[in-house]
Each structure stands twice: as C-alpha cells, then as structure tokens.
Amino acid sequence: MNRLQDKVAVVSGGASGIGAAVVRLFVEEGARVLACDIQPPLDAALRTLLDEAPEKVRFTTCDASKESDVAAAVALATETWGRLDAAVACAGVPGQGSDIDLAVDEWDRIMAINARGVFLLTKHSLPPMIAGGGGSITNISSAYGVVGAPGFAAYCASKGAVRTFTKSTAVEHAHQRIRANSIHPGVIETPMLQGIFDRSDDPEATRAAFSAQQPNGFNGAPEDIAWGCVYLASDEARFVNGVELPIDGGLLAG
C-alpha cells in the first residue's frame, strides 16, 4: 500500500479494461487520478470509486486522438491537484485487416488513437512533469508491437510506433528526471478483446486460438498489466527508463 502516495496521475482509456484497472490500483496505492476516455466509465468498480472518493479520482471525457481534448485533460489534473507525476496511455483500439485489403481510412483511425494518442499524452504531460522536477510516463503497447501478426497490420504498426516513440522520450528527457517505459501485454481479457471474439464467425474458437498463443495456456487479466504500471510509476522504478516490459505470460519468450 501507499507505493504512489500523493502522486498525481492521468490515465487515458480509463473507462474500462486495463485503463480502469490502472486507475483503481493507483488510487489504492495512494495516488490521485484523473481518468479520461471517449466513453463513460464502464467498469462497475471504477464507477463506485468515482462516487465514493471524488477527492481521489475524477473522470473527464477525452478523445485521445484530439490534441485539444488531451491538453484539457492534463490541465484539469494539474489544476485540481497542483502537479502531475505520472501519465499512463491506455487508450487504444484493436483494428483488424491485412496490409493488402485494409482501407486507408481504417489505417488512419487506428494510428490516430493508438500512436497519435500516446504522442499527445506525452507532449502535454511533459511540461508539468518537468516543472515539478520529474515524472513517469507509461505507454501501453502490445506483444504485437514487438512481433508481427497476420491480420493486424495497422495494429502492429501502431503498437510498434509506441515502442520506439517511448524510447525516444526516455533518452530525450532523462536529464530532466523523466522516465518513459512501455508495457507489452499478451492476451488480456478486456472488453476490447471480447469485441474481437464477438465479431468473429465463431467466438469460442477465436477465444481458443488467442489463448493457444499463451505458453501458460490462459489469458491475463487487466490487473496483471495495471500492477506493472504501479511499479513503473513508483519510486521503486527510479532507475528504470526506456524499458519495454512484456507482461505476456511468456508469449514473447518463445
């Protein structure tokens, strides 16, 4: 407990899945958190937390791909709590389609949320972090940001961009006591993943195919990723910078 005591954080994609789990665990660990998302909070535990602890957590509507929305969200956090110590970019979309038949508009949509959204949160989080003497940026990439996968051309490209962009941030701002790291989840049971199953011709067969990628034989939970975010935002990780952290049940080890 209290690993993030008195820290202030902004979490994009905070309405559900990994983002909601990050918000909840950050608050449990003593942080004050602004959750932002284009959709209202879907996570029941998060909704309860918002009702019961408004001094610790707030929610604002934000399109991660729009600079004005992201800038306003960061400003709201700093105005509410006086500083910014951590930013976690969880907003993302899956996006399926091969490179030969993917529509240009769909490519642009996926890149706008998954890659531009990370850039925008970093861009607007850096000034208050630098002014406050440092901070931690954690960007949620994917195992598919390290290796390729058929049928996920734009998704792989966008998550690969997150991986290397994060390293650029890490080396550019290390002297300002900014740490930037990426997390690379394996197959995680989130509403986004469930959407992929539901849109397939055979949801159970698709679920089984995804699970079969995991050497441990089962899918992860949002909290598995959120605990990694807690660590990277904490002072325990003060010497961790520019790292790509797989939390994937061994998927990338094979």
| Contact of 77 with 84, CB cutoff 8 Å | yes
Long-range contacts of 64-68 (CB under 8 A, 24+ apart): 64/12, 64/13, 64/36, 64/38, 64/89, 64/91, 64/113, 64/116, 64/117, 64/120, 64/121, 65/112, 65/113, 65/116, 65/117, 65/120, 66/120, 67/120, 67/123, 67/124
Q: How far is CA 233 from the centre of its chain?
A: 13
Residues identified as active-site:
155
